Structure 1
Amino acid sequence: MLIGYARVSVTPRDRTAQVSALRALGVVPAAVYVDRGLTGTDRDRPGLADALARCGRGDTLVVTALARLARSVPDARDIVDRLAAAGAMLRVGADHYCLGGPDALSLCDCLALVADLEADLVRLRTREGMAEASAKGHLRGRRPTLTPAQERQLVTTLHEGSRTASEVAEIFGVSRATVYRAVRRVRFPGDG
């Protein structure tokens, strides 16, 4: 039996594309397991757990790409070991892999290395994009928790001396670190 697995982002378009590709590979809709909004490095994937549990001797787990199944060598190796123990096979796109023997494990390691490299490239492109956006002034970081007027009020309350930084933080609904940052930023007339 063919058992499909798809890991998709939260966009419906991504789910439709992968499920359609699994159908084209011969997987019936009732045998498709999907995880939504999870990264490939997240080890807690209920859809994958259900798909692996359903795989038995002679069954084939079908994925559209290895990156949809795993993004690290240890994760891929664990999945392949579970499939091999169940007597199942793995199909990545049009390629079938029998999982018994050292050749299959070496091949899986190579495929997982490629998926791991792909994940590294995604991270690199993200960092490059953020650096470019920052250079253009489009990436400014997180917005301040408090407005300048709220910061002045917070510092005034703290300087009155009747409350601790922790109490002021609780009153304003911020962390103590935010209180200390506000104290550093706010300057009143006559402050040096």
Structure 2
Amino acid sequence: MLIGYARCSTHHQDADLTAQRSALSRMGVDDNRIYIDVGLSGTNRDRPGLREALAALRAHDTLVVTKLDRLARSVRDASDIAEEIEATGAALSLGGSIHDPADPMGRMFFSIMAVFAEFESDLIRARTREGMAVARTRGRLRGKQPKLSRAQERHLVQLVESGEHTTSEVAGLMGVSRATVYRAMERAKSNGATE
């Protein structure tokens, strides 16, 4: 039996996910046997879709992925997943080519692809950090903006301190979570202590 696995890192990669599903179908995987993870990085091993795909594998089955970087983004994870698949007596197909762990050339090719997948992931992280640093120096990256203005936060503190409303009621009135109310109260206390 063929078990398919597809993954995309963000919820905005519908085209990539559709392409992966189409490729898996062309390789003979039934649509109801394709397991998917959306919004999860390949560097994160704890993925529900991957867990389900691996659990569905039995001896003589084949886990099919379009490319190795959809399965793992680190050499260690790629090796661990391949070993787990081999331990069940199943096979791994990468873009239609069966990975044979007993073949020295196959092992080398698999290792090289895993190194490139990890390298690509590292490059993406480095570019993201560089882009954020440039945006920060230009004043375009200011971090998360507060939910309430200073005036709204002062009003919130007054409402809570009046004792006429519960924290939940104040949160509802201000359109924020209770955690936001608690943080505002903590800031008010610390500001009062420093003044």
Same fold (TM over 0.5): yes
Conservation of the 8 A alpha-carbon contact between 2:2 and 2:61: yes
Task: Describe the SS at the equivalent of 2:93.
Answer: strand
Matched, 1:50 2:58: no
Which residue, out of 24, 31, 50, partners 2:26? 24
Q: 1:107 to 1:172 in 2, by over 3 A?
A: closer
Question: Identity across aligned pairs (percent)?
Answer: 46
Match of 1:74? Answer: 76
Structure 2 unaligned blocks of 5 or more: 159-177
Equivalent pairs counted in the alignment come to 175
Match of 1:7? Answer: 7
Conservation of the 8 A alpha-carbon contact between 1:84 and 1:100: no
Superposition deviation, residue 73 in structure 1: 1.9
Conservation of the 8 A alpha-carbon contact between 1:72 and 1:113: yes
Matched, 1:36 2:38: yes
TM-score normalised by length of structure 2 = 0.71
Kindly provide the CA deviation profile for residues 15-43 of structure 1, in whole angstroms up to 9, marking residues without a partner as x: 21210121122322122111222221222
Q: 1:120 to 1:180 in 2, by over 3 A?
A: farther
TM-score normalised by length of structure 1 = 0.72
Greater shift, 123-132 or 144-153, is seen at 144-153
| Separation of aligned partners in 2, 1:57 and 1:30 | 19
Q: How does 1:29-178 map to 2 (within 5 A)?
A: 29-100=31-102, 104-150=106-152, 173-175=181-183
| Separation of aligned partners in 1, 2:185 and 2:91 | 53
Which residue, out of 158, 163, 187, partners 1:179? 187
Kindly provide the CA deviation profile for residues 53-102 of structure 1, in whole angstroms up to 9, marking residues without a partner as x: 23233332111111110112221111101111122222221432112366
Conservation of the 8 A alpha-carbon contact between 1:62 and 1:91: yes
Structure 1 unaligned blocks of 5 or more: 157-169
Which one-letter code corresponds to 1:43 in the other structure? R
Which one-letter code corresponds to 1:10 in the other structure? H
| Separation of aligned partners in 2, 1:111 and 1:78 | 14
Q: 1:117 to 1:171 in 2, by over 3 A?
A: closer
Greater C-alpha radius of gyration? 1
Task: Describe the SS at the equivalent of 2:134.
Answer: helix
Task: Describe the SS at the equivalent of 1:42.
Answer: coil
| Separation of aligned partners in 2, 1:28 and 1:171 | 46
Superposition deviation, residue 10 in structure 1: 2.1
